[in-house]
């Protein structure tokens, strides 16, 4: 089932949109870096993380995963599962996992962008690059967990994922106002900052609590599980 879901994305416009958003993310980060001085590896890494969670990544994860689930509506394949020994909720689980993989692949692409860009602008330590890449992947996984309840709730009906994209964008935009405050570890999207121990060279140490960050994301993950069981209860 996993390979079949990946095959559906072949030559699909959603991948072009994803690549375009990553370029925009990188471009904005470079412009911001140059505006504040020389673009260095650390400054670009910090900006890619910051702009990623506050503008693009939660929205992009919701868009991709929601679109993947919505294909069952647009392709009119829901009725087919009534005559094959596959539960609909199992199909949704696969799609949610593919959505997670997509988020991580996005993180890999952002890491490659970071390396290629700084290769021509700054001296890059391979250990620093590996550390930054791991942090990006971990943080993107945290962002996916943060929007998982929205994805599940907004994909029950056809084209409902579009509302989820809007909610995720607003959800992530609001994180700008809590990222440097005492609620940073409680707010799901910014909780990942505590897990990767993110520091901003401009504003300094962010007042996060790693344990609270873990608990916050665990609560969101458990909430997602409960919502999933309730939403697809009739498919058991």
36 belongs to a structural domain:
yes
Cβ atoms within 10 Å, residue 112 = 12
Q: What is the DSSP letter of 119?
A: H
41 belongs to a structural domain:
yes
pLDDT at 231: 87
Give alpha helix (H) positions in 36-160: 41-51, 57-74, 88-121, 126-154
> What are 52-90's pLDDT values in tens digits?
998 889 999 999 999 888 887 776 665 555 555 567 788
| Secondary structure string (H, E, C) spanning 49-60 | HHHHHHHHHHHH
126 belongs to a structural domain:
yes
195 belongs to a structural domain:
no
> What are 149-190's pLDDT values in tens digits?
999 999 888 888 999 999 999 999 999 888 878 888 999 999
200 belongs to a structural domain:
no
Q: What is the mean pLDDT of the chain?
A: 84
74 belongs to a structural domain:
yes
Q: How many domains does the structure of the chain reveal? A: 1
pLDDT at 235: 45
Q: What is the DSSP letter of 145?
A: H
Range of the domain at 20: 2-176
> What are 27-37's pLDDT values in tens digits?
998 888 888 77
């Amino acid at each position: 089932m996993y390979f079949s879901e990946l095959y559906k994305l072949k030559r699909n416009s959603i991948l072009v949109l994803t690549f375009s958003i990553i370029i925009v993310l990188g471009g904005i980060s470079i412009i911001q870096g140059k505006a504040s001085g020389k673009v260095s590896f650390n400054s670009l890494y910090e900006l890619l993380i910051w702009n990623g969670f506050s503008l693009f990544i939660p929205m992009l994860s919701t868009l991709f995963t929601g679109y993947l689930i919505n294909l069952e509506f647009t392709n009119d394949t829901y009725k087919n599962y009534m005559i094959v020994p596959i539960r609909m909720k199992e199909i949704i689980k696969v799609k949610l996992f593919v959505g997670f993989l997509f988020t991580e692949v996005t993180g890999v692409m952002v890491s490659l962008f970071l390396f290629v860009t700084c290769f021509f602008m700054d001296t890059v330590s391979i250990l620093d690059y590996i550390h930054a890449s791991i942090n990006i992947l971990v943080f993107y996984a945290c962002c996916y967990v943060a929007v998982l309840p929205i994805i599940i709730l907004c994909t029950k009906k056809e084209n409902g994922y579009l509302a989820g994209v809007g909610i995720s964008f607003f959800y992530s935009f609001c994180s700008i106002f809590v990222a440097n405050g005492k609620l940073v570890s409680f707010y799901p999207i910014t909780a990942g900052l505590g897990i990767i121990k993110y520091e901003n060279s401009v504003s300094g140490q962010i007042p996060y609590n790693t344990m609270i960050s873990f608990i916050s994301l665990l609560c969101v993950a458990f909430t997602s599980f409960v919502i999933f069981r309730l939403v697809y209860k009739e498919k058991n």
